[in-house]
Structure formats: C-alpha cells, structure tokens
Amino acid sequence: MRVKNGIRITAAAVAATCVLGGCSVDWEHLIRDDAPIEPEHSVSAGIEEDSEAPLAESSEEKSEISWAESSDSMQEYRYSLKNTLSEKQTELYNRFTVMIEELETEFVFENEAEDDVKTAYYAVLDDHPEYFWLGKSFTYQMKTLGEQSEITVSPTLFSDDDDEIIKAQKELESIVSDIVNEAASKENTYEKILYVHDYIINNTVYDTETLALIKAEENEGLLNASTAYGCLVENTAICSGYSTAFQLIMHRLGIECGKVNGTRASESGSHQWNYVCVDGEYYFIDLTWDDPIKDDGENTKTYEYFLISYDDMKNTHTIDGTMPVPDETGTKYNYYVYNGLYFEDYDFSYVQDAAEWYYADGGLSVKFSSPEVLDEAMNELIVEQKVFDIDRINDGISYSVSTSGCILSIYY
C-alpha cells in the first residue's frame, strides 16, 4: 500500500512529483518489499498563504478442491512460464502439478538434472498462485549411486499438517468462488477486471509488519503476506500477495494473467505487479500502487496503474527479465482512455465537463498526453486558480499530480 505524505503548499508553489515504490519476489529465496510514497498538496480559493483545505483522499481424505481449470490452461497462455520450458522441464512441471494436487509436500525425482527440477518447480509456483502452501524457499537432498541419482525437494510449507492445508484451501476457495461469481456477472472483460481490482484493494491492508521483517532480514520461510491466501483470507499482503491473488482470480475467470518482477524505475527496491490480456491485447496493472492510504490511515483507491501500456509502465517500473512478459500492449482499455478522462490537449471545458458528469461525488482525476500538456493544465487550473470556476467547487481543494503518468487528481 502506498502512504500519502500530506504536504500543504500555496497556490503559487505547485511543483509536484509522485514518488513511487513497491515490492517483489526474490526469485530463489524469500520475498522483499518496499512500499511506495505519494505526495499530496492542497490549495484554497483566492488565498496565497498555506491553508487548511481538506485532504482527499479433522482428518480428511486428500483435498476435494480441484484447480484443474488453471492447471490445464497454462500452455494456452502465451506468456506462462510453462511455455518457456524445455521438453524435459515440461515433463517435470506436469509431474510436480500432479503431486501437488495430491497434497504431496516432498518431491522425489530419479535421474533428473538438478537445474531442470529447480526450473520446473519455480515455473509451477509462478504459474499457479493457488498452490499458496508451498514456498519458493526449499531444501533438497541429492543421493547418487553409480550412474543413478535421486533428488528430494522439500519446500517451506504453510503448515506441516495436511488438515490445516486442506482447511486453508477451502477458506481460499470459498472467497475466490464468491469473487469469481460476482465478476463473471459483469458485462465485459474490462468490467470483470475492474471489479476484481476494486475488491482486492477495498479488502486488503498493506502488511507493513512483514515489510519490516523483510527489510531487517529476520523473516524465515513462507510469508503468508506474499500469497493469495494472505491477501484474500487474512486480508493483509505485500505486493506479491496482491499480484498472486489477482492472477489467481483472473485464471479462474479464464483471463490470461501473469506476474512481473522488477523494481521502481531508476531506484532500488524490488517490486511485483501483473500483466493481463483484454480482448487479445496486453496491459499492465499494479494493484499495490493503486492502493494508497493517507497518513491518518484512511484507505483510498486510485486507477493510475489500471491497464496501462508498456510505455506508461516503463516510466515508473523496470522489468528485471526473470519472467516472460508482453512488450506490445494496447491503450483502448486504459482506465482514463476507456472512461473519457484522457485528453490529447488541454482545454478548460474538458476538465469542467468531466467534473460535472464523471466525478460528481467530490473528486476528479484526468490524464494528459504529455508533461507539456499537464503543465498547461496545472498552470491554469492550479496556479491561476481557474479550478474554482468549476461549479461544484466552492471552497478549498486538495490535489495530487503524477508527472510520470501525466495525471492530475483534484479532490473537493
């Protein structure tokens, strides 16, 4: 979750930069995270001094739950890890999934190459967020006798008790099924994704305690906050929890979706987000960064990173190359484009009309085509205070601006 730092400024001092951050999976070991920060500013009508304008913002048989829909679809998904594997690795991938579905938690392979086993295991976990009880951190034992060998993989586990795992599966399945049923009732893929985006953000709190453990390198083993279970059942997550939960629900809806590993652009701090396919075109989406909170703990929700293009994404995110991701993306279903809140050039009437018909509930967020057009809008609306010519605005406002996304958000 992002934390907004409230910064009050005068109407004349309007330079603002959105400072971003995030979290990511450490590919071979544990999860790291770094929460982002977003500044916010305020201005009041006709006042040049700092003002007090309000801020916006039992024992059982093996599990009866089957995730075959997700398992069978992976090869159909263009950017799944399964599609990057060799023939031997694919065979191992399939063997892993069969054993995992039977709730085996120790995996034994004879006469297989260590690298192939490791690669197949990681691919299974990245393609299948439903296997939340298995960690990427594991120990393995290799035995050799002449030309014969045996590898035993023992991952970090959610629980050593099968009954506990089955119970947790059922808890997760119940919630996922409810979300999927509601999302499936929406009229198109865009609306399905929007519903899931909003549900996760509205029901998840960013896990700052896990983040602190990660930064202090005091965490050991599987971290629930990095899993779909942590996000959807325990309602706390770091970015990898947000992204795996989103991926899981998309797969259940039959929508291609994967995770993206990387960092904040031009900064250290690992992060993880998603790509998703809408009507044959790919987009990126970052639920963690769309889930900011204010200093007072009030939850907010944004759409700055909802179905963004590759070009928009690279302004704030850097892909680390550990996962296959799309590099050709669409723009039609970007939140601002789809809802008529994207403007190639600036005219006051555009913003005024948008305030009237779209955000009648007290806020407005618009996106411009370039930093220059954003500057033009900022100059007239904020510096010259023409924002107060909008009928619905009668008193002080607060605003935030993303220079990287060319987005101006005004709250009134």
- Quick check: is 20 in a domain? yes
Residue 9 pLDDT level (bands cut at 50, 70, 90): very low
Whether residues 149 and 272 share a domain: the answer is no
- Quick check: is 359 in a domain? yes
pLDDT at 364: 87
pLDDT in tens, 275-286: 999 999 999 999
Question: Rounded mean pLDDT of the chain?
Answer: 81
pLDDT at 220: 60
Tell me: pLDDT of 8 over 80.
Answer: no
For residue 157, the domain's CATH number is 3.30.1370
d(CA 411, CA 283): 28
Q: What is the DSSP letter of 288?
A: T
Tell me: pLDDT of 363 over 50.
Answer: yes
Of 215 and 174, which is predicted with more confidence? 174
Whether residues 187 and 107 share a domain: the answer is no
- Quick check: is 62 in a domain? no
d(CA 9, CA 287): 29
- Range list of β-strands (E), 127-255: 134-145, 148-157, 205-206, 236-237
pLDDT at 295: 62
Number of domains the chain is built from? 2
pLDDT at 24: 29
Residue given tokens 């999927």 in the structure block: 180
SS3 21: coil
- Quick check: is 63 in a domain? no
SS3 266: coil
pLDDT at 246: 98
- Quick check: is 354 in a domain? yes
Q: Taking the CA atoms of 368, 338, 354 and 194 in sequence, report the sign of the dihedral they define.
A: negative
Whether residues 214 and 99 share a domain: the answer is no
Measured in whole angstroms, how far is the alpha carbon of residue 311 from the centre of its chain? Answer: 18
pLDDT in tens, 23-73: 322 323 333 344 444 445 545 444 333 333 332 333 333 334 444 444 456
Out of 89-93, 238-242, 297-301, pick the least confident: 297-301
| Listed residue (143, 141, 132) closest to 100, CA to CA | 132
Give the pair of three-digit tokens for residue 240.
């990898």
State which of 163, 190, 223 marks the end of a domain.
163
Contact indicator for 71, 101 with CB cutoff of 8 Å: yes
Q: In this prediction, what percent of the chain has a pLDDT beyond 90?
A: 61
pLDDT in tens, 120-165: 999 999 999 999 999 988 888 999 988 899 999 999 999 999 999 9
pLDDT at 43: 54
Whether residues 354 and 237 share a domain: the answer is yes
Average pLDDT for 299-309: 90
Whether residues 309 and 270 share a domain: the answer is yes
pLDDT at 362: 67
Give the range of the structural domain holding residue 236, as residue numbers without chain letter.
Answer: 2-57+167-411
CA angle 23, 26, 30 (to 5 degrees): 100
Contact indicator for 239, 271 with CB cutoff of 8 Å: yes
Whether residues 397 and 375 share a domain: the answer is yes
pLDDT in tens, 81-114: 999 999 999 999 999 999 999 999 999 999 999 9
Whether residues 158 and 181 share a domain: the answer is no
Whether residues 181 and 309 share a domain: the answer is yes
Of 218 and 339, which is predicted with more confidence? 339
Contact indicator for 117, 93 with CB cutoff of 8 Å: no
Residue given tokens 């996000």 in the structure block: 231
Q: How many residues does the chain have?
A: 412
Residue given tokens 């971003």 in the structure block: 20
Tell me: pLDDT of 326 over 70.
Answer: yes
- Quick check: is 26 in a domain? yes
Contact indicator for 384, 349 with CB cutoff of 8 Å: no
Average pLDDT for 1-19: 30
The CB density around residue 341, as the number of other CB atoms within 10 Å, is 21
State which of 146, 163, 180 marks the end of a domain.
163
Q: In this prediction, what percent of the chain has a pLDDT beyond 70?
A: 78
Average pLDDT for 378-401: 88
Contact indicator for 246, 274 with CB cutoff of 8 Å: yes
- Quick check: is 87 in a domain? yes
Measured in whole angstroms, how far is the alpha carbon of residue 92 from the centre of its chain? Answer: 29
- Quick check: is 292 in a domain? yes
Whether residues 253 and 354 share a domain: the answer is yes
Whether residues 27 and 123 share a domain: the answer is no
pLDDT at 54: 30
pLDDT at 356: 81
SS3 352: helix
Whether residues 338 and 385 share a domain: the answer is yes
State which of 163, 180, 204 marks the end of a domain.
163
Contact indicator for 331, 319 with CB cutoff of 8 Å: no
Whether residues 43 and 145 share a domain: the answer is no
d(CA 319, CA 304): 18
